[in-house]
Amino acid sequence: MLDLSQIIKAYDVRGVVPDQFNEPVARAIGTAFVEMLRESGDEPDQIVIAHDMRESGPGLAAAFARGVNAAGTGVINIGLASTDQLYYASGSLNLPGAMFTASHNPAQYNGIKLCRAGARPVGQDSGLAVVRQRAQQLLGDLNAEADGPSRVVERDLLGAYAEHLRSLVDLTGIRPLKVIVDAGNGMGGYTVPAVLGDQVLAALPLTIVPLYFELDGSFPNHEANPLDPKNLEDLQRAVREQGADIGLAFDGDADRCFVVDEKGDAVSPSAITALVAARELAKFPGSTIIHNLITSAAVPEIITERGGKPVRSRVGHSFIKAEMAETNAVFGGEHSAHYYFRDFWFADTGMLAAMHVLAALGGQDRPLSEFAAEYERYTASGEINSTVTDAAARTAEVRAAFPDARVDDLDGLTFQFDDGAWFNLRASNTEPLLRLNVEAPDAGRMASLRDEVLAIVRG
């Protein structure tokens, strides 16, 4: 019998199809999800489900729906969708949701992102552990409940999702922009035309140039993971060759958006976080903004300078969403290019972040590289992963090596130095890895600090 602890992790379900994740597993998780909601006093009449462009998605979603029906609950199936479109459905319908996607993972993977009504997150400490335990029992029970009557309603919410996003950002008064969008054969190829398609563009000074918009879960051109620099190369080349003002790259389920300037250089997600935070603070003065602890130190500095209240969070969508809800934050951003909005049920949406960037750039008479430089103040290493056999021991060695640093343990260990340099070292939740992020006032200091820490971590 499959061990579900291998695929149900801290934030979602993710595994290789069919060896780790298959239709019987999806069915068991569907039933377990309803039972978890019911036990927590959040019993729904229906659950909304969707899937991305991966070939295994429709079958897995249908099996999950059978499990939901077996538990006595109905299903609204919105079909093909981006993850933020599923969050829109969950928020607007006030229903729990299940999105079948493996995000940026390779083609052989699939998974599920679960949420409660109103797009509230379901993570390890907010129900996912209970789902895993119950689904494991169901898989081992030969007398598990049979399929009940099918209670599945099909709905198309793509147009309503697009209209909602357009209501949140006004693009009508911007200067003309040429925008190249790399969807990576993922769901951006489905949602970008809906949000910024031909009928919409007739009223907007935008020229959208599509790159890899054909939905194809085998990812024939490159993996839909813009966090890996090699997957941005086609977009960067196209921006330079075609003289575009900006390039946008979406991951497989289009909940993350990466930005490339007119020179083809990547704009850091920290700079985008600061830029969008500044726009939201202009609209909602004095508001709280959430940033995770490995975004640039420039982010809380700029939030404070613009009159906002920066709040530092652990890494991970379930943590940042919970922090946003608790503080009623207007916006939140992560180093991984997840951007969260109060106007979007505190959920993350790459499309809305992209629209904010287009609106900001379109209100400037200068190129993106010059504009974005205002939000880039320090030199960062990016995330560096090291495979280790004993993460705790290596972390202890690093701590001992920097006795004069200020250290906190909000998420892993963060070391801060008097010259403004800092680094964070934290263990992966799912792999035998230590993840290192370093930032410093200049490239030389960053490189020397990075190399010093890596020498200890890697022995």
Structure tokens belonging to residue 352: 């809305």
Beta-ladder partners of 380: 439
Cα 179 to Cα 133, 184, 259: the distances in Å are: 46, 15, 11
Active-site entry in 82, 103, 287, 318: 103
Contact criterion met (CB below 8 Å) for 103 and 38:
no
Query: Is 150 an annotated catalytic residue?
Result: no
Cα separation, 73 vs 47, whole angstroms: 7
Full 3-state SS string of 59-122 = HHHHHHHHHHHHCCCEEEEEEECCHHHHHHHHHHHCCCEEEECCCCCCCCEEEEEEEEHHHEEC
**278-284 — which CB contacts under 8 Å span 24+ positions?**
278/302, 278/306, 278/375, 279/356, 279/359, 279/360, 280/330, 280/331, 280/341, 281/306, 281/307, 281/308, 281/330, 282/306, 283/330, 284/330
CA 90 to chain centroid, in Å, comes to 16
Cα separation values, 452 from 105, 379, 395, 404, 436, Å: 31, 16, 13, 15, 12
Name the helix (H) or strand (E) containing 341.
strand 339-341
- What are the residue numbers of the active site? 103
